[in-house]
């Protein structure tokens, strides 16, 4: 189950704590690896400027439905 036992319902607070502890980029296992980018400039550089590299990646649909109500955000767009 990876890092799931570490999560509280305040997911944003947990991720901010982990950013302070592990740095701007880290991997969370839910139970598959998800890379978290906690820096606006890095996010812009890698997901916006090089977005084509991330198209059609595996969508963790069940996990995202549980955490946020669905596949929301730029990381889950295929167009």
Q: How far is CA 34 from CA 26, 41, 58, 63, in A?
A: 8, 19, 10, 11
pLDDT in tens, 19-62: 999 999 999 887 678 888 889 888 888 777 776 776 666 656 66
pLDDT in tens, 47-56: 777 767 766 6
Domain membership of residue 25 as a residue range: 4-76
Domains held by the chain: number: 1
Q: What is the pTM of this model?
A: 0.56
How is residue 31 written in tokens?
């139970």
């Amino acid at each position: 189950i990876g890092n799931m036992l570490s999560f509280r319902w305040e997911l944003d607070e947990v991720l901010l704590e982990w950013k302070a502890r592990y740095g701007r980029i880290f991997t969370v296992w839910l139970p598959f690896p998800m890379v978290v980018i906690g820096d606006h400039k890095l996010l812009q550089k890698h997901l916006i400027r090089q977005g084509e590299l991330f198209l059609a990646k595996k969508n963790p649909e069940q996990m995202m439905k549980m955490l946020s109500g669905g596949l929301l955000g730029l990381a889950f767009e295929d167009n």
